[in-house]
Every structure is written in C-alpha cells, then in structure tokens.
Chains A and B, each alone.
Chain A
Amino acid sequence: MPGSAQLGRAFAVQLWASVLTLTVLVLIWALSGAGGFWPVWVFLPFALALAIHGWVQLLRRHPAIWRRPRMTFALALTSGIALSLTLFNVGVWGASGGGSFWPQWPALAFASALAIQASVVMFTAPTQRQMSERIDVLTSTRAGAVDAQEEKLRRIERDLHDGAQARLVALGMSLGMAEQKLDAAEPEEARELLAEARAGAEHALRELRDLARGIHPPVLADRGLEAAVRSLADLSPMYVSVSVELRERPPATVESAAYFVSAEGLANAAKHAQASRVEIRIARRGASLHLEIVDDGKGGADPEGSGLRGLRSRVQALDGTLRVLSPPGGRTVLTAELPCA
C-alpha cells in the first residue's frame, strides 16, 4: 500500500496486520468449501477502524485540511467519522442481503448533528472585522517594536561614541604625549600622563561594563528575573522593596521586557519623580506575568515621553499592555501585563 507509511508507523502496522488477518480468513473460507462469504463480517469492522485511524493521522499531519475559515479540527474529525460510519452501515446493509435501505436514517441523524456543529463553529469563529482589527494591532505593534529597537541601537552607538571610544582616544593621547615627554627626557611629566592614561583605561572599562549591562544584563540570563531586579534595586539610591512570586521562569523575552520595565521605572522614579521609596511586585496571574511599580514621588510622568513610549512598544510587541497612572503630586503606578504563552 504505497503512501500508508506517510500516515505513521502505527497506521502501517495496523494496515498490514488487517490485510494479513483477512487473507488468512479468506484462505480458511476457501479451504472450508467456500459457502456464504462470512469473512466480510470481519472485513467491515477492520475497514471502519482503519478509516478512522487513517483520517485522524491525516488531519494531524496535514493541518492545512482543517485550518481554513469555518472549519476546525473537531468538525473535520466528526465529519470523517460520520462518513466512515455511514459507509460501514451501507456495507452491513449490503452484506446482510439488502432489503429496506435503513442506513439512510443514521446518515440523516449524522447530517443534522454535523449541521449543528458547523453552525456552532460559524458563530464562534472570529469575524472578518475582528480579524482585520487584530491585523491592525499586529502591524502597528510590530512597527513600534522595530522603532524601539532602532532607537535603542542609536542610543548604544551614541553611548559608545561619547563614552568608551572617546575615553580610548583620550587615553591614547595621554600615552602619545607621555612618549614625547620621555623622548624629551622629562620623566616626571611622562609619569603624570601615564597615571592619567591608566585612570582613563579604568574609566573606559567601567563604561563598557555599564553599557553591556544595559544591553542585556548577564545576571538576568544566569539567575533569572528576581535576582536581576534585586540587583537593580541594590544599585538604586532609593529604598526599593521587591516581591517576586513566580513558580517557574517565564520565557526569556518576557523576563527581559519585565526587567527593562523595572529598570526604566526605577530610573524615572529617581530622576523625574524624585521618589524615596519604590515597591516592585512581580507575580504570575493566570497566563500572564503581572508587574507593578509604585513610587512615592511627585507624579506627573508623561506617558508619551520617549522612555515610556519605548517600553510600551517593547511590551506591546509581546501582546502585553503597559499602563501609567501618574497624577501630578501623587504616586506613580506603572503596570505591565505580559502574556507568557
């Protein structure tokens, strides 16, 4: 049977076992003097089982069959089984000598059951409008994510240009001048320049380290979200309390988004709101990670500011939501909801 292997080993084994059994039965029937063809009663249930098994395998391996409008896996499965049973009934009717065509009644019942199921599928499927709204959301959040990425790359370039790169140039200048001083036999000045150069190298290293942490903090990858957020809290000049309730590690993209929301929230609280205490709560709520940052600062954050806009793009790219509540003179509450599916 060519092609049977494509439906899986289990199906192939069942097929060959059935063929073998039937061959043996037909042989026995022929040797025992032919008479009424009783092996048909074994053939029909075997064929039914094979048809259902084959159909299930086919649907599993080729989702394109049922992934289309007004069709679901369940509906495709039911239709296949109903058709197999109807054919089985017709077989039984034929093998038992015909007469009144009773298989039409169960076929009619199958048809009405299928009609009910199909109409349920039709009414629960997303409408054209819902789908096009979803496409709009996906298009804009994807563009936002790309913009945020671009913005971040530009900032990294600036940081490198003005930071470590400039430090290295200055360091090189000091070394070059020290060389000149040595040539001119002025060792005291040369020593001074060398000390400056060493201080410059240390500074450049520190800046590179901070920059690398800003791109992707190593502690986040190694120890997870809780440790990374606690390390942010330790570095902050404010009093920060952190509570994390997660039974398992969320996906890396969610961890990273939650980390950067926390980092930006803390930076805003210190810089703009001039807060002294901040509370960060992270917990799993249903299928989402829920993050809340509350500070006791002077509020008035601009939700359209570049920092918050970048965060929102990042969160929306994961199908999450970010809300900012920051009344002037009041506490700022930053909430992020990140699906973990």
Chain B
Amino acid sequence: MRVVIAEDLALLRDGLARLLRDNDFDVVAAVGDGEALVRAVVEHEPDIAVVDIRLPPEFRDEGLRAALRARDRAPGTAILVVSQYVEHAYAAELLAGPGGGVGYLLKDRILHVTEFVEAVRRVAGGGAALDPEVVAQLFSRRREDGPLERLTPREREVLTLMAEGRSNAGIAEALVLTVGAVEKHVQSILGKLDLLQSAGDHRRVLAVLKYLQHQ
C-alpha cells in the first residue's frame, strides 16, 4: 500500500514514516505543508494520505483543507487525518465528501501501533476510522428525550464502535460477542434510529454520524 505523509514536525514525520515502513507500507512521500501534500498526492496517486490537521503557515486546519483539495484533484485517495486535538466539526467536513476512505484519529492512537496500522489499512481500503473521542463528543450532545435514550446500554456500546468505523466482526471481537449477536444489535439500533440498513461499513458510519450530528 502506497502512503503519503504530511506532518510539519520532522520528529513525528520521520517516526510515522518509519512506523509505516516497518509495517510493510510503501511511504512514497513525506512532506511538511499543505501545498506539498497536494502536489505529492497528484504526482504519486497514493492509496492513502496520512495528514496532520495543523500545518504551516497558519497552524489552524490547513492540513484538513489541503487533504480535501488533494482528494478533489485525485479522487479515490483515502484520507486519514491525525491531530493532537479532535473536534467533531472537522470530522463532519471530512465525511461530507463523496466516497469512502476517511479517518480522523487523535495522535495518541498511533501509540497502539497494531491498532493504528489496522486503521490505516481499513481507511485505505475504503472504510472509516473515527476516534472514540470524536464519537464521545457527538454522544455528549444528545438531547434528553432523543431516540438515543431508547437504546440499551449494550446497544450504545455497539453504536459507539459502529461510529468509530468498525465492522461487525471487529465489534464482536471488541465486545466479546458472536457476530450473530452483533448483527442483531445493529438491526435493532438502526431500527430505533430510523436508519436504513446499507451494505458497506463506510455507508453505515456516515449514516450514524449524520444522525448524531443532527441530534
């Protein structure tokens, strides 16, 4: 799998490149700002771009905006945004575009190398990876009388994992359940929230997130 990295701090850029190379990714470019990211993506057409949200010159959300521009120019490039803070508003912008392959993770998640690498693969393969913090922020905004209150505690756990982008098998593993049991929970959740059952994991994440955001 071919990767482009955009991170302004050399320390983290090098660390990330080494970590991904060690795990059999082909890091084709590692750049330090948004413009260079767009150029690198257009030139190398990687499977995925791993991008820090804060990049020079303003150190606000240049990384996010450059990643969205890069995806416009090279459609089909998956984007995984990493940051030291998460804001659910950024996740919404990222997910607003067409197609799959988006992720938004705290840099903390990189420390769990195996899980992080798995998330990069999932996003590169068209899936989603949302940080539990983002999901928690969305959950905390819910209203008292909303339909979320109708979910059982177990269903809420399943919903959180769904929003993070996990597959039914992944959820089953995390909660030590059978895949069949997870499928039943998912059906029940989608029914209670009036969401349509759709095939792909990514579609499902989108539906859940849109739902949470409009709560």
Chain A contacts to B: CB under 8 angstroms: 158, 161-162, 165-167, 169-170, 172-177, 179-180
Contacts and interface: CB of A to CB of B under 8 A. Distances in A.
Contacts, number: 47
Nearest to B112: A176
A170 B12 contact: yes
B111 A172 contact: yes
B108 interface: yes
Contacts of B112: 176
Given A166-B12, A169-B110, 18 more contacts: A166-B84, A169-B15, A169-B84, A169-B111, A170-B11, A170-B12, A172-B108, A173-B12, A173-B16, A173-B111, A175-B111, A176-B19, A176-B111, A176-B112, A176-B116, A177-B19, A180-B113, A180-B114
Which of B11, B16, B18, B112 has the most chain A CB within a 10 Å cutoff?
Answer: B11
Contacts of A172: 108, 110-111
Nearest to B23: A180
Nearest to A175: B111
Contact of A176 (B12, B84, B110): B110
Nearest to B117: A180
13 contacts: A166-B11, A169-B12, A169-B15, A170-B11, A172-B111, A173-B19, A175-B111, A176-B112, A177-B19, A179-B113, A180-B22, A180-B23, A180-B114
Contacts of B195: none
Bin the interface of chain B by size: 20 to 34
Contacts of A180: 22-23, 113-114
Contact of A166 (B9, B18, B114): B9
Nearest to B82: A169
B20 to A, nearest CB: 11
B107 interface: yes
Contact of B84 (A165, A174, A175): A165
A177 B22 contact: yes
Contacts of B110: 169, 172-173, 176
B85 to A, nearest CB: 9
Q: Which 4 A-B pairs have the closest CB atoms?
A: A172-B111, A176-B113, A173-B15, A169-B107
A161 B54 contact: yes
Contacts of A174: 15
Contacts of B113: 173, 176-177, 179-180
A170 B84 contact: no
Nearest to B116: A176
Contacts of B23: 180
Given A161-B84, A169-B108, A169-B111, A177 B18 contact: yes
A158 B116 CA distance: 25
B211 interface: no
